[in-house]
């Protein structure tokens, strides 16, 4: 996941899991790590997360699929579709 900004001001940007094709109902989310620093950011436990960028800044994250912490509700997913996406 990459955030890039070429403006002369600090800005907070949004990444929405639903726009990435991962709605809440799937029980899936991302576990993200900063690709440049190696810092483990954690599991996204909302439908979106925010990233603050400085002037002309960028952030690049490594995203791995993870189960939502609250996915114990026996959510129904299309296993065939998600196997294609994950693999």
Per-residue pLDDT of the chain (87 residues; tens, 9 = 90+): 999 998 999 999 999 999 888 988 889 999 999 999 999 999 998 888 898 999 999 999 999 999 987 655 444 444 444 444 443
Q: Pull the structure tokens for residue 49.
A: 């997360």
pLDDT value at position 77?
42
pLDDT value at position 71?
53
Residue 37: which of 18, 59, 68, 16 has the closest Cα? 59
Q: Is the pTM of this model over 0.85?
A: no
Residue 63: which of 24, 29, 26, 16 has the closest Cα? 29
Is residue 15 a contact partner of residue 60, using CB atoms and an 8 Å limit? no
């Amino acid at each position: 996941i990459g955030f890039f900004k070429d403006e002369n001001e600090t800005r907070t940007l949004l990444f929405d899991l639903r726009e990435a094709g991962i709605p809440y109902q799937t029980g899936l989310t991302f576990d993200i790590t900063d690709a440049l620093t190696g810092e483990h950011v954690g599991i996204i436990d909302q439908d979106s997360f925010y990233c603050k960028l400085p002037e002309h800044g960028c952030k690049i994250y490594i995203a791995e699929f993870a189960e939502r912490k609250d996915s114990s509700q026996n959510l129904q997913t299309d296993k065939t579709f998600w196997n294609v996406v994950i693999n």
